[in-house]
Structure 1
């Protein structure tokens, strides 16, 4: 599969015909050589795969994640391959630890040119099982939204001063067509999407851009506990990592599967029909 061939032509069908036509902006090496790229959730899955590709392309990769052993292993993989990488173990659920890590990174490297907000927590729990679990919403917001906002607030001043910056937010395709049963997760990602839209309105003339990736299903540890996804069409972490790298090269405002974007259009035209479709999908167990 080509690096941009992940685009969906239908809800769960991978596009095997290659990438959509669009104006080329160069290669990954041209986009990241000599750049400082901070990747959260970099110890496994999408973040690890993207970090390895970025290191191979010439970036100085700053890896942030909670699991120190896995983070060190990913860093060694990049360095062994000839790249530059630095590990910063941090529990992003901890606000003080997150701010201290950002300060350390800025002190060590003088700034961040590209930020990939990839770390995330997913919870599947329907409404009738959530009445006494407000903490599910709190903890997803803490990691998926507030930690990402802290990262952005830490690195954006330098990006704006240097008049260069890229912020890549890994969201979910469910942000386009709805996620019944995943309300806490989808809402936290939607908050990150909306705050980035507001930030973009202030920074566009400064060559600081934001990209929202509405990522489809990826075979990571996050979805492993749900047996419904064992045979579902999905991306490998390596394919998803290349999607992140494509976002850095092309820096579109939004990237997402065709089905999801069409569903959002239907939602804008006829919310009632979109709600009915979401209800049918939830009732059928999809």
Structure 2
């Protein structure tokens, strides 16, 4: 587990989690977690392992999911694993069929699977697939999954938690066009749908995260020295949101970034092309 620096402690203050309340609230419920084989999804599954819940863990790596199942089921939780690439239509349809055949129904969906990519436009001219595959996993897959499971969640007065990024609420950054467009689309769709979901009795929570120290950021060398939240901390935030049904989680300091995005947008748009020209046309892919 990553130990926070003093600066990270300031940026990411501890999250109190009432484990007894969480256990009482979740006992006997069925929870779907996408992107479950590493990072946030993995730590969330282990955090819930002491509770008598049925977790459905979805990710591409079947061997990792099976190893998690063996470890978690030595405790209190029951685990079903469903290896699937949610960009693959056949595998998505098989997952949806499985979910609709659950005898106990579905109570909570944690939409966590995602893909990040950093690459300049100049280096993307012959890589249209970067945009289609990023949009496929970050936007189209969660939308299809939720559209299909909303009737199941409505029956149980369930809860959807959408794991998003603070970038969706800030000015777009160079080199992140594919990633930020897909996450902004997902966030806009979910916020637009949330009032209708609430009307049906389904709680909707958006979790806006800063940089998180997961395997997804490892290929980007620049990230290794930046402050980042631990996936264990994020798992606590998600569990806390399950208890409170809060509509959003944002880092306390994000408001200053949002204000700056409004107040200094013209300056940013004036200065950033000049900064990029000095730096050169960088390229880094994840």
Interval containing the TM-score (normalised by the shorter chain)? 0.7 to 0.9
Matches of 2:275 and 2:196 in 1, distance apart? 38
- Matches of 1:56 and 1:14, distance apart in 2: 30
Aligned to 1:124: 118
In structure 1, what is the equivalent of residue 75 of structure 2?
81
User: Where has structure 1 moved over 6 Å in runs of 4 or more?
Assistant: 277-285
Q: What residue in structure 1 maps to residue 229 of structure 2? A: 235
2:208 pairs with 1:249: no
Change (3 A) 1:108 1:229: same
**Aligned residues of 2:106 and 2:153 also touching (Cα < 8 A):** yes
Partner in structure 1 of residue 151 of structure 2: 157
Structure 1 residue runs without a partner (length 5+): 1-5
Partner Cα distance (1:57, 1:186) in 2:
35
Q: CA separation in 2, counterparts of 1:31 and 1:50?
A: 16
Superposed counterparts of 1:76-225, under 5 Å: 76-162=70-156, 164-177=157-170, 178-225=172-219
For residues 196-233 of structure 1, give each alpha carbon's deviation from its aligned partner in whole angstroms, at most 9, with x where no partner exists: 11211212133212211111111211100111111221
Shift of the 71–14 alpha-carbon distance from structure 1 to 2, 3 Å rule, reads farther
Report how many residues are paired. 274
Distance, in Å, in 2 between the alignment partners of 1:245 and 1:212 is 13
Uncovered stretches (5+) of structure 2, i.e. residues with no partner: none
TM-score, normalised relative to structure 2 = 0.85
Give yes or no for contact 2:60–2:83 (8 Å, CA) kept in 1.
Answer: yes
Matches of 2:245 and 2:271 in 1, distance apart?
32
Task: Give the direction of change, closer, same or farther, for the CA distance of 1:265–1:254 in structure 2 (3 Å limit).
Answer: farther
* Higher mean C-alpha displacement, 85-94 vs 264-273: 264-273
Q: 1:272 is matched with which residue?
A: 266
Alignment RMSD (CA, Å) = 2.9
Contact 2:30 2:104 in 1 (8 A): no
Equivalent position to 2:48, from 54, 63, 83: 54
TM (normalized to structure 1)? 0.85
Larger Rg: 2
The farther-off stretch of 123-132 and 137-146 is: 123-132
Q: What is the deviation of 1:138?
A: 0.4
